Amino acid sequence: MEIVKQVLYSGIQPTGIMTIGNYIGAVSNWNKMQNDYDCIFGLADLHAITVRQNPSEYRQKAISFFAQILACGLDPEKSIVYFQSHVHQHAELQWILNCYTYVGEMQRMTQFKDKSIKHEENINMGLLDYPVLMASDILLYKAALVPVGIDQKQHIEITRDIAIRFNGIYGDTFVVPDGYYPTLGAKIAGLQTPTGKMGKSDADPNNAVSIIEDPDSILRKFRRAVTDSDPFVSFDLLNKPGISNLLTILSAFTDVSIESLVNEYADGGYKRFKEAVGVAVVEGLSPIRDKYNTYMSDKSQLMDIAKQGALRASHIAEKTLSKVKRKVGLVEKARLN
């Protein structure tokens, strides 16, 4: 008997740089999930234009990001990998879901409040409506699981609320998704600010490490990583956030437990320890950089992968969208021969 796998959906915005924090906390987990779930991964390029982008730079960055997520190990034969903007059903379903979402719910969203302060000169409807597009992304594919960071938990909650509300009115339509929250590496801190998240768009270039960064640059950043005055390596998030962050990174790239790493480096001094972390990251990223360069050297092949992914995604999405349109009473369009 054929085993029916749960659908897992996730997306990433092509802004800033793809950091080792993104890789450890999200993308590396995607790779492990491909054999256990029917995985759908979207490059969330529509989400990112809530902030003004330079068109030509943004286009090239989106292509680069697409190559990077493939280079990290996403297999287009096992998973659906595509550009969000290539599947028009996302925006269509968003409009319908807008009519089942309350303004007060959106105004209470923490991320909207934060971004409104950060981009006070451009508080647009996209910033307010961002969670409904995210709900559309997820609900189109009947996703049961959505791997996200803790900072996205509120968006998963509103997605569930919208799905439950719609199902309550029209009967069983959407799968109500659950968030999937990874443990190790769920939050990788910055190398210069170890009490804050390593951001994709960090103003300090020494705070974040890109997955396609030059090896010498990576080693330099880890040698300069902020630690503390106590020379002993131990895991203590409160008193030793810098060292704890480096232990988390080293554990993720070597697949060695933090406890074992503490035993190995406890009294060897910070210089030796930070060098070991840098070397492990360089070695771990080496095959990713090689694959990335291969993809970027053949853009036609890369865009063909994107096209095939969008076709597969659109086929699934259209089934859901058609069902939703019937439920709300929209007239079905005649099939074109």
**115, 142, 221, 240: which is the annotated catalytic residue?**
115
> How far is it, in rounded angstroms, from Cα 163 to Cα 180?
17
More reliable by pLDDT, 268 or 74: 74
> What's residue 135's pLDDT?
97
Picking from 175-179, 230-234, 257-261, which range would have the lowest pLDDT averaged per residue?
A: 230-234
Flag whether pLDDT at 165 surpasses 90.
yes
Structural domains for the chain? 7-180+299-328 (3.40.50.620), 215-294 (1.10.240.10)
Contact partners, residue 138, CB within 8 Å, separation at least 6:
9, 146, 159, 177
Residues paired with residue 38 on neighbouring β-strands, in sequence order: 7
> How far is it, in rounded angstroms, from Cα 332 to Cα 69?
37
More reliable by pLDDT, 177 or 3: 177
Using alpha carbons, select from 152, 153, 155 the residue that is nearest to residue 129. 155
Tell me whether residue 187 is one of the annotated catalytic residues.
no
Radius of gyration, alpha carbons of the chain = 21
Q: Which residue has the tokens 């409904």?
A: 132
Q: Give the tens place of pLDDT for each residue, 299-314.
A: 999 999 999 999 999 9
First to last CA, the chain: 36
Tell me whether residue 323 is one of the annotated catalytic residues.
no
CA distances from 250 to 19, 205, 226, 268, 286 (A): 15, 20, 15, 15, 15
Do β-strands 38-43 and 145-147 pair in parallel, antiparallel, or remain unpaired? unpaired
Write the secondary structure of 67-118 as one string of H (helix), E (strand) and C (coil). Answer: HHHHHCCCCCCCCEEEEHHHCCHHHHHHHHHHCCCCHHHHHCCHHHHHHHHH
> What's residue 182's pLDDT?
63
**What percent of the chain has pLDDT above 70?**
97
> What's residue 276's pLDDT?
97
> How far is it, in rounded angstroms, from Cα 295 to Cα 301?
8
Tell me the two tokens of residue 239.
Answer: 């008193």
**61, 142, 197, 274: which is the annotated catalytic residue?**
197
Backbone angles phi, psi at 7, to 5 degrees: -90, 135
Tell me the two tokens of residue 112.
Answer: 């909207």
More reliable by pLDDT, 106 or 337: 106
Question: How many CB atoms neighbour CB 267 within 10 A?
Answer: 8
3-state helix, strand, coil in the chain (%, to 5): 55, 10, 35
Beta carbons of 131 and 159 less than 8 angstroms apart: yes
Alpha helical stretches, state H, 140-210: 153-170
Flag whether pLDDT at 185 surpasses 60.
no
Tell me the two tokens of residue 72.
Answer: 């990290």
Q: What is the mean pLDDT of residues 238-255?
A: 95
Beta carbons of 321 and 93 less than 8 angstroms apart: yes
Using alpha carbons, select from 2, 144, 23 the residue that is nearest to residue 74. 23
Picking from 1-15, 43-57, 151-165, 308-322, which range would have the lowest pLDDT averaged per residue?
A: 1-15
**200, 221, 240, 274: which is the annotated catalytic residue?**
200
Angle at Cα 161 formed by Cα 163 and Cα 96, nearest 5°?
Answer: 50
Q: Mean pLDDT, the chain, as a whole number?
A: 91
Q: Grade residue 152 by pLDDT with cuts at 50, 70 and 90.
A: confident
Tell me whether residue 200 is one of the annotated catalytic residues.
yes
Contact partners, residue 126, CB within 8 Å, separation at least 6:
49, 50
> What's residue 336's pLDDT?
55
> What's residue 268's pLDDT?
82
Q: Give the tens place of pLDDT for each residue, 186-222.
A: 579 999 999 888 988 878 889 999 999 999 999 999 9
